[in-house]
Structure formats: structure tokens, C-alpha cells
């Protein structure tokens, strides 16, 4: 009987020590409404948006935060709805399509064909503590590859630290959203300027 009582008490203690696992929270970035500019140039080209290169930590769905100048951490319970590289690729596609300046814009695939390949490197999409405050860092470089000529004909980079108002993951994501919107707007405007200057293509 004593053994049975001891065993029962052990099971109760073990059960009490078990806690329900936290459910992760998911975040995503979106493209803001983009109205085509009146009189904007139209370019008879097809653009394929290729896969972005990135450090391994940005090819994972966990939200990344800066621990120091040389160390990053990931949050197991706060995650992106998809990997940051895939989100930025899709945002590029949507922004270029909504501009209505191109004949066709689509993500690269085994069957897709295009005149130009837009590809690049995502270096940062994370929170970082600067000492004076928390910042949301977005750093990306894009290049345009002319499929026919076999050459990179345009390249542009964007890097910005957006202030974060509160020490919450939601506030960090909101700041990243603003940084991404500003960065992709600048990059796609620069791309359009390239095509306007090389309309012979």
C-alpha cells in the first residue's frame, strides 16, 4: 500500500510539473495600396523575380532579434507566416505588378520565361538594440540580370534602421513594415528609371 501511495504521489507531482506548451504567434508583411501614376512609362518587358539569398537565420520562419553587434537570436514563439526571403520576394512581385508598368511580372519557376531576372540578397530583417533605443533593421540588395545579354545591367541597395516605439514584437514588426515599404518603393522606382533610360530594350 505504501508503495502504491508513493507511486501515486509521484504521478501527481509529475503531472503538476507539466505545463501546456505556448502557441506561437505569427506575423506577416503586406504591400500597401499602390495607385498607378498617371502618365507613368510602360515597358514591354517580362520580369522574373528570383529567389533571394540570405543568411540561414533569415531563411527560417522565427523572428530574429539582435543580442549584440555580433550576435543574433531567434524567438521560438514569435514567427513569420513564411520565411522572410519568401515574403520579400512576394512583396516585390505585388509592387511591380500594381505599378502596371511592365508587360508581365511573376516569380521564377521551371516553366516561367522572362526578359529580365530580378534577384538579390536579403541581409537584415530584424530588431536590433542600439543602446539608445530599439531599431528595426532592413537591408537588401537587388540586381537585374538581362537574360539575353547574360549581364547584370542594374544594381541597387537599401539599408535603413526604423525606430521602434515600444518593446514588443508587434511594434518591431510594424516598424519593419514601414522600413520594407520605404525600401521597396525606392528600389522599384530606381528600377523603373533604369528602364526609362534604356527604353530600346
Span 32-60, pLDDT tens digits? 887 767 677 889 999 999 999 999 989 99
pLDDT band at 68 (very low <50, low <70, confident <90, very high): low
Question: Average pLDDT over the chain, rounded to whole?
Answer: 86
Are 66 and 126 in contact, with CB atoms under 8 Å apart? yes
Could you give the 3-state DSSP secondary structure of residue 74? strand
Cα-based distances in Å from 81 to 62, 125, 127: 9, 14, 17
| Highest mean pLDDT out of 12-16, 76-80, 186-190 | 186-190
* Least confident span in 68-82, 96-110, 114-128, 185-199: 68-82
* Least confident span in 16-20, 74-78, 79-83, 107-111: 16-20
* Tens-place pLDDT, residues 167-184: 899 999 999 999 999 999
In this prediction the pTM is 0.84
Q: What is the pLDDT of residue 200?
A: 53
pLDDT band at 109 (very low <50, low <70, confident <90, very high): confident
Nearest-10 Cα torsion for 190, 80, 33, 109:
60
What does the block give as the cell for 4? 502504491
Q: What is the pLDDT of residue 10?
A: 36
Instruction: Match 510539473 to its residue by C-alpha cell.
Output: 17
As a whole-number percent, the residues of the chain with pLDDT over 90 amount to: 67
Amino acid at each position: 500500500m505504501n508503495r502504491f501511495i508513493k507511486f501515486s504521489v509521484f504521478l501527481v507531482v509529475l503531472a503538476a510539473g507539466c505545463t501546456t506548451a505556448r502557441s506561437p504567434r505569427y506575423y506577416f508583411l503586406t504591400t500597401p495600396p499602390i495607385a498607378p501614376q498617371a502618365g507613368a512609362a510602360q515597358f514591354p518587358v517580362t520580369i522574373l523575380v528570383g529567389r533571394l539569398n540570405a543568411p540561414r537565420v533569415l531563411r527560417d520562419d522565427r523572428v530574429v532579434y539582435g543580442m549584440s553587434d555580433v550576435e543574433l537570436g531567434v524567438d521560438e514563439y514569435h514567427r513569420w507566416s513564411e520565411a522572410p526571403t519568401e515574403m520579400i520576394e512576394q512583396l516585390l512581385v505585388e509592387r511591380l505588378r500594381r505599378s502596371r508598368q511592365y508587360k508581365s511580372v511573376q516569380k521564377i519557376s521551371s516553366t516561367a520565361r522572362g526578359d529580365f531576372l530580378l534577384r538579390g540578397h536579403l541581409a537584415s530583417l530584424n530588431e536590433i538594440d542600439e543602446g539608445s533605443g530599439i531599431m528595426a533593421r532592413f537591408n537588401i540588395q537587388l540586381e537585374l540580370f538581362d537574360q539575353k545579354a547574360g549581364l547584370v545591367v542594374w544594381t541597387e541597395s537599401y539599408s535603413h534602421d526604423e525606430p521602434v516605439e515600444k518593446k514588443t514584437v508587434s511594434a518591431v514588426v510594424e516598424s519593419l513594415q514601414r522600413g520594407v515599404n520605404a525600401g521597396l518603393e525606392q528600389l522599384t522606382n530606381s528600377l523603373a528609371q533604369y528602364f526609362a533610360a534604356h527604353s530600346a530594350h
